[in-house]
Structure 1
Amino acid sequence: MTDFPDIIRSPLSQRFTEDGVTVQVEIYRVDGTEGWTLELIDEEGGSTVWQDSFATDAEAFAEFTDGVEQLGLAKLIDPDEDDLATVH
C-alpha cells in the first residue's frame, strides 16, 4: 500500500466569479516541500495549472489576481495562443 503525502491547502483558496465565469482557485503544496501550486478548476471540471511554483501562497494568489486584471478570467482559463506566453 502506498502512502500519499499530505496536501496543505492555502486559506486563500476560494471560488471566484467574473463576468459569469466561475472557477475554484486552489493554492496548495505538498507537506514537507517548498513551493505553492496555483490551479484553477472551471465549472466543467477543466483544470489550469501554472507550471512554476510560488514561494508563498500570497504570491500565487497575486499571480492569479494580476492575470484576471490583465486578461480577464475567461482568457486566463482558455487563453489564445498569443496569451500563452504571458500567462502560465
Structure 2
Amino acid sequence: MIEDREIEYSALSGPVTQAGVTVIVKIFRFLGTDDPWTLEVVDHEGGSTVWDETFPTERSAYEAFRNALAEEGIGSFLEPAETRH
C-alpha cells in the first residue's frame, strides 16, 4: 500500500484571467521526486481539464497551458466539467 504522498506545486501555478474569466492553473508532482509535472486547469465551478501527457519541466507544462489558451481561448477550459488534453 502506498501512503498518502505530499504534492509539490510549481511557482508557475496560480490564477490566470482572460476576458474577465479566471481559471486556476495547477502544475504539480509528488514532493521530493524527479517525476514529470502534471498540468491541470480548474474553472470557477470546479470543472477540471487535465493533460494526458506529463512534462519534463514545470516551464514546459506552463507553455502547454499558454499555447492552449492562445489557440482555443479561456472558454475551452470552462466545459465540459472534466476534459483531458
TM-score, normalisation: structure 2 = 0.83
Matches within 5 A, 1:44-83: 44-78=45-79
- Counterpart CA distance in 1 for 2:51 and 2:3 is 26
Q: What is the CA distance between 1:19 and its match in structure 2?
A: 1.1
- Which deviates further from its counterpart, 49-58 or 2-11? 2-11
Give 2:72's aligned amino acid.
L
Matches within 5 A, 1:1-16: 3-16=3-16
Q: What is the CA distance between 1:34 and its match in structure 2?
A: 1.4
Change (3 A) 1:38 1:77: farther
Counting matched residue pairs gives 81
Matches within 5 A, 1:33-48: 33-48=34-49
CA-atom RMSD, angstroms?
2.0
TM-score, normalisation: structure 1 = 0.81
Unaligned runs of 5+ in 1: none
Q: Give per-residue Cα distances to partners, 1:28-83, cap 9 Å, x unaligned.
A: 0013251100001110011111111000000000000011111111124437xxxx
Q: When you count helix as a share of all residues, which structure comes out higher?
A: 1
The answer for the alignment partner of 1:26 in structure 2 is 26
- Counterpart CA distance in 2 for 1:76 and 1:24 is 10
More RCO (CA 8 Å, sep 6+) = 2
